[in-house]
Amino acid sequence: MIFEKIKIAKNILITLFIFFGLYVVLDLRDYNFKRAVDACLAGSQKLSKSKITDLKEARKFCEDQIKKNKL
């Protein structure tokens, strides 16, 4: 009887930790992607002789390159 309650509590805790881990991983993945895009924009500003005037176009280029390199 008591062993069944322990097994149930153990299964509930494992399930909660799995969901918590998935939430953290998925949340931080978006954060890391944003940081990578910002770093790409900053690097392209420093490396280019003519400063980038269209920031939206540069951001789209950086996002595409990062997504392409992930695969």
CA distances to 24, 27, 35, 36, 67 from 45, rounded to whole Å, are: 32, 28, 15, 14, 20
Residue 7 pLDDT class (50, 70, 90 cuts): very high
Is the pLDDT at 1 greater than 90? The verdict is no
Question: What pLDDT does 49 receive?
Answer: 59
Average pLDDT over every residue of 66-70: 82
Written as one letter, the residue type at 32 is N
Of the candidates 27, 28, 59, 25, the residue with the CA atom closest to the CA atom of residue 43: 59
Look-up of token digits 């978006």: 30
Mean pLDDT of 9-20: 96
pLDDT per residue as tens digits for the range 19-57 = 999 999 888 888 888 898 888 888 877 766 555 667 788
Count of domains for the chain: 1
Q: For residues 31 and 39, is the Cβ–Cβ distance under 8 A?
A: no
Q: Which domain holds residue 24?
A: 2-70
pTM: 0.55
